[in-house]
Structure 1
Amino acid sequence: MTRLVVIVAPGSRGDVQPCIALGRGLHGDRVRVLAAERFRAWVTGHGLEFAPLSADPGEILGSDGGREWTDGGRTPATFLRGLRGALAPVLERLLADVRKGATGADLVLAPTLGFLGAHLGAALGVPDVELHYQPSVPTRKFAHPLLPWAAKAGPCGRRLSFRAVDAVAWQVLRPEVDRWRGAELGLPAAGWRGPRRSETPVLCGFSGAVVPRPKDWPARVHVTGYWFLETPAGWRPDPRLRDFLASGPPPVYVGFGSMRPSEAERTFAAVRTALRRVGLRGLLATDAGADDDDLLMVQDVPHAWLFPRTAAVVHHGGAGTTAAALRAGAPSLICPVFADQPYWGDRVARLGAGPRPLPLRELTADALTARLLELSGNLLFRREAQYVAARLREEDGVARACEVLREVG
Structure 2
Amino acid sequence: MRFVLSTYGSRGDVEPLVALAVRLRERGGEVRVCAPPDEDFAQRLAGLGVPLVGVGPSARALTKAAPSPSSLPERAARLIAGQVEAVTEAARGCDVVVATGMLPAAAGALSVAERLGVRSVSVTFQQLTLPSPERPPLAYPGKPLPPGVTDNEVLWDLDAENVNALFGDALATGRASLGLPPVDDVRGYVIGDRPWLATDPVLDPWRGAPGIDVVQTGAWLLLDERPLPPELVAFLEAGEPPVYVGFGSMPMREAADVARVAVDAVRAHGRRVLLARGWADLDLLDGQDDYLLVGEVNHQALFGRVAAVVHHGGAGTTTTATRAGAPQVVVPQAADQPYWAGRVAGLGIGAAHDGPTPTFASLSAALGAALSPETGARAKSVATQVRTDGATEAARLLLTETRGRTPHAPA
Which TM-score applies when normalising by structure 2? 0.85
When residues 200 and 44 of structure 1 are mapped into structure 2, their CA distance, relative to the original with a 3 A threshold, is farther
**Corresponding residue number in structure 1 for 2:320:** 324
**Corresponding residue number in structure 2 for 1:19:** 17
Give how far 1:268 is off. Answer: 0.4
Matches within 5 A, 1:238-317: 238-286=229-277, 288-290=283-285, 292-317=288-313
When residues 344 and 166 of structure 1 are mapped into structure 2, their CA distance, relative to the original with a 3 A threshold, is farther
State the percentage of identical aligned residues. 32
What is the identity, as a one-letter code, of the residue corresponding to 1:109?
Answer: V
Match of 1:372 among 357, 362, 367: 367
When residues 149 and 193 of structure 1 are mapped into structure 2, their CA distance, relative to the original with a 3 A threshold, is closer
**Corresponding residue number in structure 1 for 2:32:** 32
Matches within 5 A, 1:86-105: 92-93=81-82, 95-105=84-94
> 1:333, 1:358 within 8 Å by CA — same for their partners in 2?
no
Give how far 1:106 is off. Answer: 1.8
**Corresponding residue number in structure 2 for 1:209:** 202
SS at match of 2:219: coil
> 1:55, 1:94 within 8 Å by CA — same for their partners in 2?
no
**Corresponding residue number in structure 2 for 1:113:** 103
Give how far 1:52 is off. Answer: 0.6
Cα distance in 2 for partners of 1:192, 1:227 equals 29
Matches within 5 A, 1:9-408: 9-26=7-24, 27-37=27-37, 38=39, 39-65=41-67, 68=68, 83-84=72-73, 92-93=81-82, 95-111=84-100, 113-114=103-104, 115-135=107-127, 136-146=129-139, 157-183=151-177, 185-191=178-184, 196=189, 200-216=193-209, 220-232=213-225, 235-286=226-277, 288-290=283-285, 292-360=288-356, 362-376=357-371, 378-393=372-387, 395-406=388-399, 407-408=401-402
When residues 297 and 85 of structure 1 are mapped into structure 2, their CA distance, relative to the original with a 3 A threshold, is farther
The RMSD of aligned alpha carbons is: 2.7
When residues 312 and 17 of structure 1 are mapped into structure 2, their CA distance, relative to the original with a 3 A threshold, is same
4-13 or 211-220: bigger deviation: 211-220
What is the identity, as a one-letter code, of the residue corresponding to 1:141?
Answer: E
When residues 194 and 325 of structure 1 are mapped into structure 2, their CA distance, relative to the original with a 3 A threshold, is closer
SS at match of 2:152: helix
> 1:4, 1:107 within 8 Å by CA — same for their partners in 2?
yes
> 2:42, 2:52 within 8 Å by CA — same for their partners in 1?
yes
> 1:117, 1:130 within 8 Å by CA — same for their partners in 2?
no
SS at match of 1:177: helix
- Deviation digits for residues 144-176 of structure 1, max 9, x if unmatched? 3559999x977xx33554454344223211212
Cα distance in 1 for partners of 2:60, 2:363 equals 26
Give how far 1:46 is off. Answer: 1.5
Q: Where in structure 1 do 4 or more consecutive aligned residues deviate above 6 Å?
A: 147-150
53-62 or 113-122: bigger deviation: 113-122
Give how far 1:200 is off. Answer: 4.0
- Deviation digits for residues 314-367 of structure 1, max 9, x if unmatched? 00010100101110111111111111011111111111111232322x312222
- Deviation digits for residues 62-100 of structure 1, max 9, x if unmatched? 1141xx45xxxxxxxxxxx56446556666445433433
Cα distance in 1 for partners of 2:305, 2:71 equals 37
Structure 1 gaps of 5+ residues are 70-80
SS at match of 2:304: helix
When residues 312 and 84 of structure 1 are mapped into structure 2, their CA distance, relative to the original with a 3 A threshold, is farther
- Deviation digits for residues 223-271 of structure 1, max 9, x if unmatched? 1111112112xx2222210111001111110000010112111110111
Give how far 1:30 is off. Answer: 0.9
Give how far 1:102 is off. Answer: 3.0
284-293 or 170-179: bigger deviation: 284-293
Cα distance in 1 for partners of 2:294, 2:190 equals 43
SS at match of 1:187: coil
SS at match of 2:296: coil
What is the identity, as a one-letter code, of the residue corresponding to 2:98?
Answer: L
**Corresponding residue number in structure 1 for 2:408:** none
SS at match of 2:121: strand
Cα distance in 2 for partners of 1:323, 1:53 equals 26
Cα distance in 2 for partners of 1:317, 1:344 equals 6
When residues 86 and 177 of structure 1 are mapped into structure 2, their CA distance, relative to the original with a 3 A threshold, is closer
